[in-house]
Chains A and B, each alone.
Chain A
Amino acid sequence: MSHRRPKSPNMQNYRPQLTSVLSFGHRLSGVALSLGAFGLAGWLMAGASGQDAFGSAQALLLSVPGRIALFLVTLALFYHLCNGVRHLVWDSGRGFELRAIYAGGWTVVGTSLILALALWTWWPA
């Protein structure tokens, strides 16, 4: 009996490229936003429960770890939004030339960073 047939490595040996990395970012931001959606429902429930409950919820969100979490959620939001638009363009059949894929990808990264920072520097609280 000889050694069982091995499988050639996939992720451990394949190059991370803009294509796969941005796609994984889209998935990761989607998961983060799903958690954020449940957080939104919870925040609204706090609002419906009266001033005290809402006050505690706001205090939690405006604490240091809360602000960090909110910033990350904002980043995830704008990245998922911009990359989502890029996906919708692909679904229409356009933008599949390599140049468009790469240029669009870098544009999405830059735009989402700019939008997230813009929203946060404008945040009044």
Chain B
Amino acid sequence: MIVDRSDEVPRLKWPRRFPVPRNLGVAVHSRIAEGKSWPAPEGATRIATLRIYRFDPDGMAGPRLDTFRVDLDDCGPMLLDALIWIKSRIDTTLTFRHSCREGVCGSCAMTIDGTNWTACTRAMADLAQPAMIFPLANLPVIKDLVPDQSHLFAQYEMIEPWLHAETPAPERERLQSPRERAALDGYYECILCFCCTSGCPSHWWNGDRFLGPATLLQAWRWLADSRDEGRGERLDALEDPFRLYRCHTILNCTRTCPRGLNPGRAIAEIKKKMIERQG
């Protein structure tokens, strides 16, 4: 009932998704059909069933849902281990991004049992049976579990995530007290996995204009940086009913961050700064 940390898996296994038909209101080219069902490996005793979203961009068919059965005694404990096991033993065409395998790069972010998380830090034991593995929500799908994040990165680029300073660079560092440096804690650690933005209903409805929690958290990271001299221009760029103010404090973002960060709080701080300069 009460959640303390974002890495807590929801206790109730149902509902993993809104109880509506899977293709309700979905555009024709995005509708998901039933896909292949792969048999369990011979001699396996502990089996986990994964239903995985598949899409082949070189084919003529639309997206489908394949069912894989993983031998838990033959692969590592995390979902990423299972995906790699499937790719090496069952279906080499299964495509997904991954890199660090320890939850610091953000590459393997995907929608797992209805919530966004990194596959390398989601234990197989925490999955429902069968588990539902989808690419990050509301993004164009390049192939299988690989979404096209170019719009999200373009929004990130738009907030100019670098130091704005006219003061020429000093011989050594731009000085910052420990307290000023502490103001960045909880914001600089973002790995740009976009789990939060992909899980924000406001970004679902207005993602072309609303910047989303990831970009806004980074906008706050730069607004909060004592060395930055462009605070006014940064706030000017956010003064827009859509770019910032589509945030209605839904807080799906804070619930889903795999790094335990708080985009909701960052956005509230931005809004406070917007008010502060008005009066």
Contact = CB atoms under 8 A, between A and B. Distances in A.
Interface string A72-85: 00000000000000
A99 B260 CA distance: 13
A5 B272 CA distance: 40
A93 B274 CA distance: 13
Question: Which one of A19, A23, A93 has the highest number of Cβ atoms from chain B below 10 Å of its Cβ?
Answer: A19
A3 B57 CA distance: 6
B3 A7 contact: no
Interface stretch (A10-18, A58-66, A111-119): A10-18
Interface in B1-19: 1-6, 10, 15-18
A123 interface: no
Classify the interface of chain A: helix, strand, loop or mixed.
loop
A120 interface: no
B136 A8 contact: yes
Contacts of B31: 6
B175 interface: no
Interface stretch (B80-88, B159-167, B243-251): B243-251
Contacts of A16: 15, 17-18
A93 B265 contact: yes
B44 interface: no
B272 A2 contact: no
Interface string B124-153: 000000001011111111100001100000
B113 interface: yes
Contact of B142 (A5, A13, A90): A5
B55 interface: yes
A12 B113 CA distance: 12
Interface stretch (B20-28, B90-98, B224-232): B20-28
A14 B114 contact: yes
Interface in B234-279: 248-252, 254-255, 262, 264-265, 268-269, 271-272
Contacts of B103: none
A122 interface: no
Given A7-B138, A99-B2, A20 B62 contact: no
Given A3-B60, A87-B249, A101-B254, A13 B132 contact: yes
Contacts, number: 152
Nearest to A27: B248
A122 to B, nearest CB: 30
Contacts of B249: 23, 87, 90-91
A99 to B, nearest CB: 5
A20 B15 CA distance: 13
Nearest to B19: A16
Contact of B20 (A8, A12, A97, A102): A12
A115 B39 CA distance: 55
Interface string A16-50: 11111001000100000000000000000000000
B251 A13 contact: no
A11 B18 contact: yes
B3 A9 contact: no
B201 interface: yes
A12 B140 CA distance: 15
B155 interface: no
Given A13-B132, A14-B199, A27-B248, 16 more contacts: A3-B59, A6-B27, A7-B139, A8-B134, A9-B32, A9-B137, A12-B20, A14-B115, A15-B115, A90-B268, A96-B264, A98-B254, A99-B3, A101-B3, A101-B254, A106-B1
